């Protein structure tokens, strides 16, 4: 069955593979329906479960967390949750470069 792509509305979906990643870490390739026009890929619920299991096995699952930004004198403080600190092997006291990426994202570069 060849369905029309729900994203671009003109391409056809064909069986293919898609490379998944989470937080910039490669999770491998999974079967997907891939649009031959815009390239959008759709994985089924079975593949979704595998991707989730892989992310959990790699310690990536749940690393994105809501935190609040606190005031500290004239500066602001963002707490890094313990799980994220463990994943990044941060102990505290490291040097980092903090910079904006647009107006809605902060990047903290380590090392
Ligand atoms: Zn498309």
Under a CB-based contact definition with an 8 Å cutoff, are residues 19 and 26 in contact?
Answer: yes
| Domain ranges for the chain | 13-57, 69-110
Distance 15 CA to ligand 1 centre (A): 13
The rounded Å distance from CA 53 to ligand 1 centre is: 27
Residue 1 confidence (pLDDT):
57
pLDDT of residue 8: 97
pLDDT digits (tens, 9 = 90+) for 40-69: 999 999 999 999 999 999 999 999 999 999
Confidence class for position 76, pLDDT limits 50, 70, 90: very high
| pLDDT of res. 111 | 84
48 Cα–ligand 1 center, Å:
20
Beta-bridged to residue 15, according to DSSP, are: 33
Statement: residue 2 has pLDDT above 80: no
Give the predicted TM-score (pTM) of the model: 0.72
Flag whether pLDDT at 91 surpasses 60: yes
Q: Please give the CATH architecture assigned to the domain spanning 69-110.
A: Ribbon (2.10)
The Cα–Cα gap between 110 and 96 comes to 5
Going from the Cα of 3 to the center of ligand 1, the distance in angstroms, rounded, reads: 10
Per the prediction, the chain carries an average pLDDT of 94
Q: Please state the rounded mean pLDDT for residues 71-77.
A: 96
Q: Find the 94 Cα to ligand 1 centroid distance in Å.
A: 44
Report pLDDT digits (tens) over 16-35: 999 999 999 999 999 999 99
Q: How far is the CA of 46 from the centre of ligand 1 (A)?
A: 22
Assess contact for 99 and 93: CB atoms under 8 A: no
Q: Cα(76) to centroid of ligand 1, in Å?
A: 42
């Amino acid at each position: 069955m060849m369905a029309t792509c729900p994203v671009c509305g003109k391409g056809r979906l064909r069986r293919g593979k898609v490379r998944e990643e989470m937080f910039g870490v490669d999770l491998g390739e999974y079967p997907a329906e891939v649009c031959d026009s815009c390239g959008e890929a759709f994985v089924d619920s079975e593949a979704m479960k595998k991707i989730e299991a892989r992310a959990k096995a790699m310690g990536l699952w749940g690393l994105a967390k809501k935190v609040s930004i606190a005031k500290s004198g004239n500066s602001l403080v963002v707490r890094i949750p313990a799980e994220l600190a463990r994943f990044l092997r941060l102990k505290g006291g490291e040097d980092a470069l903090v910079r904006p990426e647009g107006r809605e994202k902060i990047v903290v570069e380590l090392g």
